[in-house]
Amino acid sequence: MPLLSIIDSRTSRVLLTALLFALGLGFLYVARQTLILFLFAIFFAYLINPAVERLQKPLRGRGRAITLIYLLLLLGLALFVFFVGPRITRQAARLGEALPGLMEKVGSGQIAVDIGTKRGWSDTTQSRIQDVLRNHSDELSTLGQTIGVRIAESAKEVWVLFLVPILAVFFLRDASSFNEVLVSLVQSRTQREFLQDVLRDLNQMLAQFIRAQLTLAGLSMLAYTSCLGIMRVPYAMVLGTAGGVLEFIPIVGPLVAGVAMVAVAVLAGYSYWPLLLLFLIVWRLIQDYVIAPRVMGDSVQLHPLAALFGVLAGGEIAGVLGVYLSIPVMASLRIVWRRWRIYAEKRKFGPLNEYSFPHDLGRGRS
Protein backbone atom coordinates (compact mmCIF):
# COMPACT_ATOMS: atom_id res chain seq x y z
CA MET A 1 0.00 0.00 0.00
CA PRO A 2 2.71 2.58 0.80
CA LEU A 3 4.43 1.74 -2.50
CA LEU A 4 1.16 2.32 -4.34
CA SER A 5 0.78 5.65 -2.60
CA ILE A 6 4.28 6.69 -3.66
CA ILE A 7 3.59 5.66 -7.23
CA ASP A 8 0.30 7.55 -7.25
CA SER A 9 1.98 10.61 -5.77
CA ARG A 10 4.77 10.57 -8.32
CA THR A 11 2.32 9.97 -11.16
CA SER A 12 0.14 12.87 -10.06
CA ARG A 13 3.14 15.20 -9.88
CA VAL A 14 4.28 14.15 -13.35
CA LEU A 15 0.80 14.62 -14.77
CA LEU A 16 0.44 17.99 -13.09
CA THR A 17 3.81 19.13 -14.43
CA ALA A 18 2.92 17.95 -17.94
CA LEU A 19 -0.44 19.74 -17.73
CA LEU A 20 1.15 23.00 -16.58
CA PHE A 21 3.76 22.73 -19.32
CA ALA A 22 1.07 22.15 -21.95
CA LEU A 23 -0.95 25.10 -20.65
CA GLY A 24 2.17 27.26 -20.76
CA LEU A 25 2.88 26.31 -24.36
CA GLY A 26 -0.74 26.95 -25.27
CA PHE A 27 -0.62 30.40 -23.70
CA LEU A 28 2.62 31.23 -25.52
CA TYR A 29 1.11 30.18 -28.84
CA VAL A 30 -2.11 32.14 -28.35
CA ALA A 31 -0.26 35.26 -27.22
CA ARG A 32 2.65 34.85 -29.65
CA GLN A 33 2.07 38.16 -31.47
CA THR A 34 2.12 40.15 -28.23
CA LEU A 35 5.13 38.25 -26.89
CA ILE A 36 7.05 38.81 -30.12
CA LEU A 37 6.26 42.52 -29.94
CA PHE A 38 7.68 42.67 -26.42
CA LEU A 39 10.75 40.69 -27.54
CA PHE A 40 11.33 43.21 -30.29
CA ALA A 41 11.09 45.99 -27.72
CA ILE A 42 13.66 44.22 -25.54
CA PHE A 43 16.04 43.88 -28.49
CA PHE A 44 15.63 47.56 -29.33
CA ALA A 45 16.39 48.42 -25.71
CA TYR A 46 19.56 46.31 -25.85
CA LEU A 47 20.58 48.17 -29.00
CA ILE A 48 20.55 51.66 -27.51
CA ASN A 49 21.29 50.78 -23.88
CA PRO A 50 25.10 51.29 -24.22
CA ALA A 51 24.54 54.86 -25.40
CA VAL A 52 22.10 55.48 -22.56
CA GLU A 53 24.59 54.23 -19.99
CA ARG A 54 27.33 56.48 -21.38
CA LEU A 55 25.13 59.59 -21.24
CA GLN A 56 23.46 58.75 -17.94
CA LYS A 57 26.22 60.18 -15.75
CA PRO A 58 27.00 63.37 -17.75
CA LEU A 59 23.27 64.20 -18.02
CA ARG A 60 22.66 63.29 -14.34
CA GLY A 61 19.74 61.00 -14.94
CA ARG A 62 18.76 57.92 -16.91
CA GLY A 63 15.50 59.50 -18.03
CA ARG A 64 17.33 62.46 -19.57
CA ALA A 65 19.74 60.14 -21.35
CA ILE A 66 16.86 58.10 -22.82
CA THR A 67 15.11 61.28 -23.96
CA LEU A 68 18.24 62.60 -25.69
CA ILE A 69 18.88 59.27 -27.46
CA TYR A 70 15.31 59.16 -28.73
CA LEU A 71 15.53 62.74 -30.00
CA LEU A 72 18.74 61.91 -31.85
CA LEU A 73 17.14 58.82 -33.36
CA LEU A 74 14.12 60.84 -34.52
CA LEU A 75 16.46 63.44 -36.03
CA GLY A 76 18.43 60.75 -37.88
CA LEU A 77 15.24 59.13 -39.15
CA ALA A 78 13.92 62.49 -40.33
CA LEU A 79 17.14 63.24 -42.20
CA PHE A 80 17.10 59.80 -43.82
CA VAL A 81 13.49 60.20 -44.93
CA PHE A 82 14.12 63.73 -46.22
CA PHE A 83 17.25 62.99 -48.24
CA VAL A 84 16.95 59.32 -49.20
CA GLY A 85 13.26 58.52 -48.79
CA PRO A 86 11.97 60.27 -51.93
CA ARG A 87 14.49 58.48 -54.15
CA ILE A 88 13.61 55.08 -52.71
CA THR A 89 9.90 55.82 -53.08
CA ARG A 90 10.27 56.85 -56.73
CA GLN A 91 12.28 53.75 -57.60
CA ALA A 92 9.85 51.50 -55.73
CA ALA A 93 6.91 53.05 -57.59
CA ARG A 94 8.61 52.55 -60.96
CA LEU A 95 9.47 48.97 -60.09
CA GLY A 96 5.87 48.28 -59.04
CA GLU A 97 4.58 49.69 -62.31
CA ALA A 98 7.07 47.76 -64.43
CA LEU A 99 6.75 44.43 -62.61
CA PRO A 100 3.58 43.17 -64.38
CA GLY A 101 5.14 43.81 -67.77
CA LEU A 102 8.37 42.09 -66.73
CA MET A 103 6.46 39.02 -65.54
CA GLU A 104 4.56 38.98 -68.83
CA LYS A 105 7.86 38.87 -70.71
CA VAL A 106 8.88 35.85 -68.63
CA GLY A 107 5.59 34.02 -69.19
CA SER A 108 5.66 34.59 -72.93
CA GLY A 109 9.33 33.68 -73.27
CA GLN A 110 10.22 37.07 -74.73
CA ILE A 111 12.86 37.50 -72.05
CA ALA A 112 14.85 34.65 -73.61
CA VAL A 113 14.93 36.50 -76.94
CA ASP A 114 15.98 39.77 -75.33
CA ILE A 115 18.81 38.21 -73.35
CA GLY A 116 19.82 35.82 -76.13
CA THR A 117 20.15 38.64 -78.65
CA LYS A 118 22.44 40.61 -76.35
CA ARG A 119 24.50 37.54 -75.39
CA GLY A 120 24.78 36.05 -78.84
CA TRP A 121 22.79 32.87 -78.14
CA SER A 122 21.83 30.72 -81.07
CA ASP A 123 18.26 30.64 -82.33
CA THR A 124 17.95 27.04 -81.15
CA THR A 125 18.92 27.96 -77.59
CA GLN A 126 16.54 30.89 -77.54
CA SER A 127 13.72 28.70 -78.86
CA ARG A 128 14.31 26.02 -76.23
CA ILE A 129 14.30 28.52 -73.36
CA GLN A 130 11.16 30.10 -74.78
CA ASP A 131 9.40 26.74 -74.85
CA VAL A 132 10.41 26.00 -71.25
CA LEU A 133 9.11 29.37 -70.04
CA ARG A 134 5.85 29.03 -71.96
CA ASN A 135 5.25 25.51 -70.67
CA HIS A 136 5.72 26.67 -67.08
CA SER A 137 4.00 30.04 -67.39
CA ASP A 138 1.20 29.00 -65.01
CA GLU A 139 3.66 27.89 -62.34
CA LEU A 140 5.63 31.14 -62.70
CA SER A 141 2.45 33.18 -62.45
CA THR A 142 1.40 31.32 -59.31
CA LEU A 143 4.85 31.86 -57.81
CA GLY A 144 4.67 35.58 -58.53
CA GLN A 145 1.24 35.85 -56.95
CA THR A 146 2.40 33.95 -53.87
CA ILE A 147 5.38 36.25 -53.44
CA GLY A 148 3.12 39.27 -53.82
CA VAL A 149 0.71 37.98 -51.18
CA ARG A 150 3.56 37.30 -48.75
CA ILE A 151 4.95 40.80 -49.27
CA ALA A 152 1.50 42.30 -48.70
CA GLU A 153 1.03 40.28 -45.51
CA SER A 154 4.43 41.39 -44.25
CA ALA A 155 3.62 45.02 -45.04
CA LYS A 156 0.50 44.81 -42.88
CA GLU A 157 2.66 43.96 -39.85
CA VAL A 158 5.03 46.90 -40.29
CA TRP A 159 2.80 49.21 -38.23
CA VAL A 160 3.56 47.06 -35.18
CA LEU A 161 7.18 48.23 -35.30
CA PHE A 162 6.10 51.74 -34.30
CA LEU A 163 5.09 50.37 -30.89
CA VAL A 164 8.56 48.92 -30.31
CA PRO A 165 10.35 52.17 -29.30
CA ILE A 166 7.48 53.05 -26.95
CA LEU A 167 7.65 49.73 -25.12
CA ALA A 168 11.45 49.85 -25.11
CA VAL A 169 11.36 52.96 -22.91
CA PHE A 170 10.00 50.94 -20.01
CA PHE A 171 12.66 48.24 -20.40
CA LEU A 172 15.41 50.86 -20.58
CA ARG A 173 14.16 52.66 -17.50
CA ASP A 174 13.28 49.69 -15.26
CA ALA A 175 15.42 46.79 -16.54
CA SER A 176 17.33 46.36 -13.28
CA SER A 177 14.10 46.40 -11.28
CA PHE A 178 12.61 43.69 -13.51
CA ASN A 179 15.62 41.46 -12.90
CA GLU A 180 15.50 41.96 -9.14
CA VAL A 181 11.79 41.17 -8.97
CA LEU A 182 12.21 38.08 -11.12
CA VAL A 183 15.08 36.74 -9.02
CA SER A 184 13.27 37.51 -5.75
CA LEU A 185 10.43 35.18 -6.76
CA VAL A 186 12.80 32.20 -6.43
CA GLN A 187 13.37 31.02 -2.87
CA SER A 188 15.98 28.29 -3.34
CA ARG A 189 19.60 29.47 -3.41
CA THR A 190 20.63 27.08 -6.19
CA GLN A 191 17.59 28.00 -8.27
CA ARG A 192 18.32 31.67 -7.72
CA GLU A 193 21.89 31.14 -8.91
CA PHE A 194 20.58 29.26 -11.95
CA LEU A 195 18.23 32.14 -12.84
CA GLN A 196 20.92 34.78 -12.29
CA ASP A 197 23.35 32.86 -14.53
CA VAL A 198 20.71 32.52 -17.26
CA LEU A 199 19.86 36.22 -17.13
CA ARG A 200 23.53 37.20 -17.24
CA ASP A 201 24.22 34.96 -20.26
CA LEU A 202 21.10 36.17 -22.05
CA ASN A 203 22.11 39.75 -21.42
CA GLN A 204 25.56 39.21 -22.94
CA MET A 205 24.24 37.24 -25.91
CA LEU A 206 21.41 39.61 -26.81
CA ALA A 207 23.48 42.77 -26.44
CA GLN A 208 26.24 41.44 -28.69
CA PHE A 209 23.85 39.83 -31.16
CA ILE A 210 21.68 42.92 -31.73
CA ARG A 211 24.62 45.27 -32.19
CA ALA A 212 26.35 42.78 -34.50
CA GLN A 213 23.24 42.30 -36.64
CA LEU A 214 22.77 46.04 -37.01
CA THR A 215 26.42 46.43 -37.99
CA LEU A 216 26.21 43.67 -40.59
CA ALA A 217 22.96 45.04 -42.01
CA GLY A 218 24.40 48.54 -42.24
CA LEU A 219 27.54 47.32 -44.00
CA SER A 220 25.47 45.26 -46.44
CA MET A 221 23.18 48.16 -47.22
CA LEU A 222 26.16 50.44 -47.83
CA ALA A 223 27.90 47.86 -50.04
CA TYR A 224 24.76 47.05 -52.03
CA THR A 225 23.62 50.60 -52.67
CA SER A 226 27.12 51.86 -53.48
CA CYS A 227 28.20 49.04 -55.79
CA LEU A 228 24.82 48.66 -57.50
CA GLY A 229 24.75 52.42 -58.05
CA ILE A 230 28.27 52.42 -59.51
CA MET A 231 27.35 49.47 -61.75
CA ARG A 232 24.16 51.33 -62.78
CA VAL A 233 21.90 48.45 -61.87
CA PRO A 234 18.20 49.38 -62.29
CA TYR A 235 16.42 50.26 -59.04
CA ALA A 236 19.76 50.17 -57.19
CA MET A 237 18.52 52.15 -54.17
CA VAL A 238 15.46 49.95 -53.60
CA LEU A 239 17.39 46.71 -54.08
CA GLY A 240 20.26 47.85 -51.86
CA THR A 241 17.95 48.94 -49.05
CA ALA A 242 15.98 45.70 -49.25
CA GLY A 243 19.23 43.73 -49.20
CA GLY A 244 20.36 45.51 -46.04
CA VAL A 245 17.04 44.82 -44.30
CA LEU A 246 17.08 41.15 -45.32
CA GLU A 247 20.54 40.81 -43.79
CA PHE A 248 18.77 40.49 -40.43
CA ILE A 249 17.48 37.07 -41.53
CA PRO A 250 20.39 34.60 -41.34
CA ILE A 251 20.95 32.24 -44.28
CA VAL A 252 17.60 32.83 -46.00
CA GLY A 253 17.68 36.65 -46.08
CA PRO A 254 20.93 37.14 -48.06
CA LEU A 255 19.93 34.37 -50.47
CA VAL A 256 16.55 35.96 -51.16
CA ALA A 257 18.18 39.39 -51.57
CA GLY A 258 20.75 38.08 -54.05
CA VAL A 259 18.17 36.20 -56.13
CA ALA A 260 15.90 39.26 -56.19
CA MET A 261 18.71 41.56 -57.32
CA VAL A 262 19.79 39.30 -60.16
CA ALA A 263 16.19 38.58 -61.21
CA VAL A 264 15.20 42.24 -61.32
CA ALA A 265 18.39 43.13 -63.21
CA VAL A 266 17.78 40.39 -65.80
CA LEU A 267 14.10 41.25 -66.25
CA ALA A 268 14.91 44.96 -66.58
CA GLY A 269 17.34 44.21 -69.41
CA TYR A 270 20.55 44.93 -67.51
CA SER A 271 23.38 43.70 -69.75
CA TYR A 272 26.04 43.15 -67.09
CA TRP A 273 24.09 40.88 -64.76
CA PRO A 274 26.94 38.26 -64.71
CA LEU A 275 29.15 40.98 -63.19
CA LEU A 276 26.42 41.68 -60.64
CA LEU A 277 26.24 37.97 -59.79
CA LEU A 278 30.03 37.89 -59.32
CA PHE A 279 29.87 40.88 -56.97
CA LEU A 280 27.14 39.23 -54.88
CA ILE A 281 29.14 36.01 -54.54
CA VAL A 282 32.33 37.86 -53.55
CA TRP A 283 30.50 40.06 -51.06
CA ARG A 284 28.78 37.04 -49.52
CA LEU A 285 32.13 35.33 -48.99
CA ILE A 286 33.63 38.46 -47.45
CA GLN A 287 30.60 39.01 -45.23
CA ASP A 288 30.24 35.41 -44.03
CA TYR A 289 33.89 34.45 -43.59
CA VAL A 290 35.69 37.71 -42.80
CA ILE A 291 33.35 40.35 -41.38
CA ALA A 292 30.64 38.32 -39.62
CA PRO A 293 33.00 36.16 -37.49
CA ARG A 294 34.79 39.26 -36.24
CA VAL A 295 31.62 41.22 -35.54
CA MET A 296 29.40 38.43 -34.24
CA GLY A 297 32.04 36.56 -32.26
CA ASP A 298 30.60 33.79 -30.06
CA SER A 299 27.30 35.52 -29.35
CA VAL A 300 25.04 32.86 -30.91
CA GLN A 301 26.98 29.66 -31.76
CA LEU A 302 24.10 27.95 -33.60
CA HIS A 303 24.56 25.24 -36.19
CA PRO A 304 23.36 26.37 -39.66
CA LEU A 305 20.67 23.66 -39.63
CA ALA A 306 19.41 24.92 -36.27
CA ALA A 307 19.41 28.48 -37.61
CA LEU A 308 17.50 27.42 -40.74
CA PHE A 309 14.96 25.50 -38.66
CA GLY A 310 14.46 28.54 -36.43
CA VAL A 311 13.90 30.84 -39.41
CA LEU A 312 11.33 28.52 -41.03
CA ALA A 313 9.56 27.80 -37.75
CA GLY A 314 9.49 31.48 -36.83
CA GLY A 315 7.92 32.34 -40.18
CA GLU A 316 5.21 29.71 -39.69
CA ILE A 317 4.41 30.81 -36.15
CA ALA A 318 4.50 34.61 -36.40
CA GLY A 319 5.22 35.67 -39.96
CA VAL A 320 7.92 38.20 -40.70
CA LEU A 321 8.36 39.17 -37.03
CA GLY A 322 8.92 35.55 -36.11
CA VAL A 323 11.54 35.24 -38.84
CA TYR A 324 13.47 38.21 -37.51
CA LEU A 325 13.38 36.95 -33.93
CA SER A 326 13.99 33.25 -34.63
CA ILE A 327 17.77 33.20 -34.20
CA PRO A 328 17.99 35.03 -30.84
CA VAL A 329 15.12 32.91 -29.51
CA MET A 330 16.92 29.71 -30.57
CA ALA A 331 20.14 30.99 -28.99
CA SER A 332 18.26 31.84 -25.78
CA LEU A 333 16.81 28.33 -25.60
CA ARG A 334 20.32 26.96 -26.04
CA ILE A 335 21.57 29.07 -23.12
CA VAL A 336 18.72 27.93 -20.88
CA TRP A 337 19.38 24.29 -21.79
CA ARG A 338 23.10 24.57 -21.01
CA ARG A 339 22.49 26.32 -17.73
CA TRP A 340 19.85 23.75 -16.78
CA ARG A 341 22.34 20.93 -17.34
CA ILE A 342 24.84 22.68 -15.07
CA TYR A 343 22.12 23.20 -12.47
CA ALA A 344 21.05 19.53 -12.63
CA GLU A 345 24.63 18.34 -12.26
CA LYS A 346 25.16 20.62 -9.26
CA ARG A 347 22.13 19.14 -7.56
CA LYS A 348 23.29 15.61 -8.30
CA PHE A 349 27.05 15.78 -7.75
CA GLY A 350 27.61 18.97 -5.79
CA PRO A 351 29.19 22.30 -6.84
CA LEU A 352 31.10 22.37 -10.13
CA ASN A 353 33.58 24.81 -11.55
CA GLU A 354 31.81 28.00 -12.48
CA TYR A 355 30.45 27.90 -16.01
CA SER A 356 30.70 31.05 -18.02
CA PHE A 357 29.38 32.16 -21.38
CA PRO A 358 31.72 31.41 -24.33
CA HIS A 359 32.38 35.12 -24.75
CA ASP A 360 33.87 35.23 -21.27
CA LEU A 361 35.86 32.07 -21.88
CA GLY A 362 37.47 33.59 -24.95
CA ARG A 363 38.27 36.73 -23.02
CA GLY A 364 39.78 34.69 -20.21
CA ARG A 365 42.08 32.81 -22.54
CA SER A 366 43.43 36.00 -23.95
44-79 residue pLDDT tens: 887 788 888 888 888 888 888 888 988 998 898 888
Of 103, 131, 153, the domain-final residue: 153
Q: Are residues 111 and 258 in the same domain?
A: no
Burial of 82: CB neighbours in 10 Å, binned 0-12, 13-18, 19+: exposed
Average pLDDT over residues 263-279: 87
Phi-psi label, residue 186: left if phi above 0, alpha if psi -120 to 50, beta otherwise: beta
Q: Are residues 204 and 258 in the same domain?
A: yes
**Residue 321: pLDDT over 70:** no
**Residue 262: pLDDT over 80:** yes
Domain membership of residue 174 (yes or no) is no
Instruction: Enumerate residues 6+ apart whose C-beta is below 8 A from 240.
Output: 221, 224, 225, 226, 228, 229
**Residue 299: pLDDT over 80:** no
Domain membership of residue 300 (yes or no) is yes
Q: Are residues 143 and 227 in the same domain?
A: no
Q: Are residues 113 and 208 in the same domain?
A: no
pLDDT at residue 275, rounded to an integer = 92
More confident residue, 130 or 353: 130
Q: Are residues 137 and 205 in the same domain?
A: no
The total number of structural domains that make up the chain: 2
Which domain, by its residues, includes 148?
34-153
Domain membership of residue 366 (yes or no) is no
Q: Are residues 344 and 217 in the same domain?
A: yes
Q: Are residues 237 and 339 in the same domain?
A: yes
**Residue 303: pLDDT over 70:** no
Domain membership of residue 162 (yes or no) is no
Percent of the chain with pLDDT over 70: 75
Q: Are residues 232 and 116 in the same domain?
A: no
Name the pLDDT band for 151 (thresholds 50, 70, 90).
Answer: low
Q: Are residues 348 and 205 in the same domain?
A: yes
